[in-house]
Amino acid sequence: MKKYTVSEVEEILNSIDGIQPAEAPLYTYSKIRNRLEARNTMATGFQLKPILVIAMLLCCIIINIWMLSQQKHIVNKDNSNSSIADFSAEYGLHDSYTN
């Protein structure tokens, strides 16, 4: 473990005096422009996503409509074998309606 004496500490603290500012690396502007262009390309790529989302939603809606139409078809098929009268008789609805 290294410890420093008071005079060494003062020397360390003063070592920063007269420091010259660091210079940015070369071609900073070109590198920034490249990054900005890369961001714009990514942003354009991102804009495609809502189109995909809309397409997926449309697919879901079409599948749902198809499923519902199929369901309706099955229910209609079932109804052809029975009548409303049978249904009311089974649940005793007929009496309550006539009374």
Q: Which residues are at the interface with other proteins (CB under 8 A)?
A: 1-6, 8-9, 11-13, 15-25, 28-29, 31-32, 35-36, 39
Least distance (Å) between residue 49 CB and other proteins: 20
Least distance (Å) between residue 51 CB and other proteins: 24
Number of Cβ atoms within 10 Å of the Cβ of 55:
10
Angle (nearest 5°) at CA 12 between 7 and 16: 140
- Indicate the residue among 18 and 92 with the shorter CB distance to other proteins: 18
Q: Do the Cβ atoms of 4 and 12 come closer than 8 Å?
A: yes
CA 64 to CA 75: how far, in whole Å? 16
- Indicate the residue among 22 and 75 with the shorter CB distance to other proteins: 22
